[in-house]
Amino acid sequence: MKKYGVIGTGAIGGYYGGKLARSGQEVHFLLHRDYDYVKEHGLQVDSCDGSFHLDHVNAYHSTADMPQCDVVLVCLKTTNNHLLKELLPPLLAPHTIVVLIQNGIGVEADVQQMFPDTAIVAGLAFICSAKTEPGRVSHQCYGSINLGNYSCKDEARLHALLDDFHNAGVEAAMVSYDEARWKKAVWNMPFNGMTVALNTQTDLLLQNPSTRKLIRDLMMEVVHAAQHLGVSNVDESFAEKMIEMTDQMTPYSPSMKLDYDFHRPMEIHYLYSRPLEIVHNAGFRAPKLEMLEAMLRFVNAGE
């Protein structure tokens, strides 16, 4: 049994941390607004794969009170990553693996600069989940996670991490780091931004022929950007798979749409600006994605 730490017990951290805790792993949760509620009432996960309740939760209001962990799942919004300089150190031992279950491209490089000697892994969650009220996570569909190794030198420990996810009932796989991040971007960059720009949900974007075509065009810009960078296994068939998957989803508001709805800062930097800067420096332009980024910056400035 390992010690897991969860920084950011929201829709993602509450789900994956909850599943790990339910399977018997020792999981320590950092909470903010609902700390008192979870400490007293526990954590409820309403899930399409079977709901469950954790009666006793190792809940903390500060990482200074948390133990050093074997694995830390960082599930904060990237707009709060500046807090990691203070949040992470109490949890880190020389062997700790930090899994960044966050949106965007370029996140690992920046966190590695903060913690040069720490093993970092990208966590790419394919899940529809939301925290609807204190101490309650609503898992609507999907739930798999891909892990992309950024700087962990011990492959055996990564496979042990995969085993823990599998034993917790979570579909998990190891994929190459760049492939993992860009595959997630194929879905994230079109749907997060478009649901905000048009103030809608995923299902309506695909039901309208004009916006369905625009979503596909945006996906293909991401695919061609990844191919220009030499990323493998990101192609047109994957984009079609993402569209088909979204057709089957329940109507969904992605994380950026929820941030917009609740007047929170949006994750524009790592979801749009950073990847567009990377591909632009490599000699590739993505005009529709650049336009979407500009629209989101306009919207964000008015929030």
Cite the active site residues.
184
Burial of 19 (0-12, 13-18, 19+ CB in 10 A): buried
Please check whether residue 271 is in contact with residue 103, taking contact to mean a CB–CB distance below 8 angstroms.
yes
The H or E element that residue 176 is part of is: none
- Residue 258, Cβ neighbours under 10 Å: how many? 18
Residue type, 115: F
Q: How many CB atoms lie within 10 A of CB 23?
A: 16
Q: What backbone torsions phi and psi does residue 138 show, to the nearest 5 degrees?
A: -110, 105
CB atoms within 10 A of CB 52: 14
Angle at 216 between CA 212 and CA 222, to 5 degrees: 150
Buried b (16+ CB within 10 A) or exposed e, 203-230: eebbeeeebeebbbebbbbbbbbbeeee
